[in-house]
Chains A and B, each alone.
Chain A
Amino acid sequence: MKYKSQKVAYWFFASAILLLSLQIIYGFIMGFAHMGYDGLHSITPFNTARAVHTNLLVVWLLLGFMGAAYYIIPEEAQQELVNVKLAYVQLISFLVVGVIAIVGYHLNYWEGRKFLEIPRPLDWLVVVNVLLFLGLILATLYKGKKKTTTALVLAMGLLFAALLYLPGMIWFDNQTLDSFFRWWVVHLWVEGVWELIMGGILAFLLIKLTGVDREVIEKWLYVIIGLTFLSGILGTGHHYYYIGVGKIWLIVGGIFSMLEPLAFLAMALFAVGMYRKGEKKHPNKLALYWTLGTAIISFVGAGLLGMAHTLPQVNLYTHGTLVTAMHGHLAFWGAYGMIVFSFITFALPNLTGRKLYDTVNGQLAYWLSNIGMAGMTLAFGVAGVAQVYLERKLGLEFGAVQKEIEVHFFVLILMATMFSTGITLFIIEFFRFGKPNDEAIGFEENLKKA
């Protein structure tokens, strides 16, 4: 840490991991419901649990991105954050809106539009909040001494993410149009601008952790985000196959979405390549583990498992089944969950000045969470393939098929328990570091000299 104002990042990270634990609780509620134990139905029916689970996911990831931005931008721009108080105001108001939304989901106050359940009046509060965030980030960048590619890519990703939220706020009478523009938010986020955010954070981490020359890393960053948009924008077509728009999307969406894994492959090759090339031995090995893990698991979860059902011939059968849930979990975890964890692991020692590198708990957290999530993916996958075959190919009734696949949700819960143990250890480690403090300024720089 070089600047006092970077400390605000810590509170974003602390909030993020706490909301993740809440997300997991609601995940368990749904896992049990799928297994046939829906004892909480009267207080938390499945649709409430689901809205809370997925919205908390988005909220904690955004908190992670924001925290990372508050840490990265001052350091890259060589400039204190323009206004630290407002950054705290932004955090608290963001959390307040989140809490209102989640309480609302328990009281039938929502909009049944997958991932965008936040009612429109609250959407406006989100917009104001994000404008405040962007204002702080962009003003800092503008005032700063340097405008590095890494900082620009990160800021561009955040700015576009905010802009793309808007099409999701329009009301349509026609379900097809509703769905059409919902994807401008959901798809163009995760397979577009969020990859810019991820790429920017990844580049920053690799510069710090491997010591490879910035120019080399940033050149590859351009190639990666170039591949992202080249494939991802027209790849939106893979959600337009079967919602009531033309067949042309089957061809265009099919071809371009098949290219989408290239961006993730490039990230994996890039991270591993820079790791090999780098001579510097940064003591924060765990951060390097997480960083390389992110690059690899995101390629598997988003790239390969996305590709598995993206061709129209396949998607006709898998569309809207548990196969989608399988891909959704490993993609969100591998790309965005893990990049946030990587950054937290990297930033904590620098924020607090404590050298808790490479602890046993930290290692266990890494392996348990990742193996657990891989197991969950497998459980969803087996359930999904069985569902597709029995329901869509053989034509058995939905409910009959669900009975057949209940057992896979038992496996899901076992694996989710392993995953949650990993997350719990991560959280314990997080709090062992203690609070961020001004004595940590210069901590990382001194490591290099020593």
Chain B
Amino acid sequence: MLSKSQARAFFLGGTFVTFAIFLGMSWNSLVNEVPKQTNPQNLTEQVVHGKELWEENNCMGCHSIFGEGAYYAPELTKVVERRGEAYIKAVLMAKTPWMPRGRKMVAYGFSDQDASDMVEFFKWAGEADLNGFPPKPDVKR
């Protein structure tokens, strides 16, 4: 039967090997994949400011982006494609809560500039290559 020192060797060996592979793969992602799939050259000042607004207001506390966040409000990765710029800006600049089907969004009352920056952030997100996410609905009606 397995002895305690063999069990310890299994733990240390497995950890070391998988962690080394993990670091290697992460490195590869940062150096090769992220530049190819996420268009870092398009991270303009506006996009970055949009991301700051996204975080300062914890939009992820209701919505998701790249499928990450909460489940109370829609996924926003492709929102520009789905709704268009004007609609999004109207929602963000509204002074009273936007209430599609009765579910309220916080009324942020963004300035025109902030709303545009947010849209730029969404455009950048929508162009990232996410290996096929979000999926296209595939049941024929």
Partners in one complex: yes
Contacts of A399 in B (CB 8 A): 74, 100-101, 103
> Per a CB cutoff under 8 Å, which of A114, A229, A246, A403 touches B11?
A229
A398 touches B135 (CB 8 A): no
A229 to B27: give the CA distance in the assembly, Å.
19
Residues 399 to 439 of chain A near chain B (Cβ within 8 Å): 399-400, 402-403
B69 touches A33 (CB 8 A): no
How many residues does chain B have at the interface if contact means C-beta atoms less than 8 Å apart? 70
B80 to chain A, nearest CB (A): 15
Given A240-B29, A244-B66, A394-B141, are A41 and B97 also a contact pair (CB < 8 Å)? yes
Contacts of B101 in A (CB 8 A): 399-400, 402-403
A173 touches B48 (CB 8 A): yes
A46 touches B72 (CB 8 A): yes
Contacts of B65 in A (CB 8 A): 175
Contacts of A45 in B (CB 8 A): 62, 104, 106
Stretch of A139-147, A314-322, A340-348 on the interface side: A314-322
Is B87 an interface residue, CB under 8 A from the partner?
no
Q: Total number of A-B contacts with CB less than 8 angstroms?
A: 206
A222 touches B11 (CB 8 A): yes
B29 touches A394 (CB 8 A): no
Shortest Cβ distance from A230 into B: residue: B14
B66 touches A242 (CB 8 A): yes
B4 touches A229 (CB 8 A): no
**Proximity string of chain B (96-116) to chain A, C-beta cutoff 8 Å, 1 when within and 0 when not:** 010011111010000000000
B104 to chain A, nearest CB (A): 5
Shortest Cβ distance from B33 into A: residue: A246
B12 to chain A, nearest CB (A): 8
Given A46-B62, A320-B69, are A226 and B135 also a contact pair (CB < 8 Å)? no
Is A218 an interface residue, CB under 8 A from the partner?
yes
B25 touches A229 (CB 8 A): no
Stretch of A7-15, A64-72, A105-113, A291-299 on the interface side: A105-113
Stretch of A76-84, A176-184, A367-375 on the interface side: A176-184
A112 touches B57 (CB 8 A): yes
Contacts of B104 in A (CB 8 A): 38, 41, 45
Given A111-B55, A242-B66, are A234 and B34 also a contact pair (CB < 8 Å)? no
Residues 280 to 326 of chain A near chain B (Cβ within 8 Å): 316-317, 319-322, 324-325
Residues 10 to 43 of chain B near chain A (Cβ within 8 Å): 10-11, 14-15, 18-19, 21-22, 25-26, 28-30, 32-34, 37-38, 40, 43
Contacts of B130 in A (CB 8 A): 242-244
Contacts of B57 in A (CB 8 A): 108, 112
Is B67 an interface residue, CB under 8 A from the partner?
yes
A254 to chain B, nearest CB (A): 12
Residues 85 to 105 of chain A near chain B (Cβ within 8 Å): none
Interface size class of A (residues with CB under 8 A): 35 or more
B10 touches A223 (CB 8 A): yes
Residue of B29, B30, B64 with highest tally of chain A CB at under 10 A: B29
Contacts of B58 in A (CB 8 A): 47-48, 51, 108, 110-112, 117
Contacts of B47 in A (CB 8 A): 173
Given A226-B14, A229-B15, A394-B139, are A219 and B3 also a contact pair (CB < 8 Å)? yes
B21 touches A234 (CB 8 A): yes
Shortest Cβ distance from A242 into B: residue: B133
Residues 63 to 95 of chain B near chain A (Cβ within 8 Å): 64-75
A49 to chain B, nearest CB (A): 8
Contacts of A177 in B (CB 8 A): 30, 34
A112 touches B60 (CB 8 A): yes
- Taking Cβ atoms with an 8 Å cutoff, the residues of B that contact A are 2-4, 7-8, 10-11, 14-15, 18-19, 21-22, 25-26, 28-30, 32-34, 37-38, 40, 43, 47-48, 51, 54-62, 64-75, 97, 100-104, 106, 125, 128-139, 141
8 A-B residue pairings within 8 Å (CB atoms): A34-B72, A36-B103, A47-B62, A47-B106, A48-B61, A226-B14, A243-B66, A320-B71
- Taking Cβ atoms with an 8 Å cutoff, the residues of A that contact B are 30, 33-34, 36, 38, 41, 45-48, 50-51, 108, 110-114, 117, 149, 173-180, 215, 218-220, 222-223, 225-227, 229-230, 233-234, 236-237, 240-250, 252, 256, 316-317, 319-322, 324-325, 387, 392-395, 398-400, 402-403
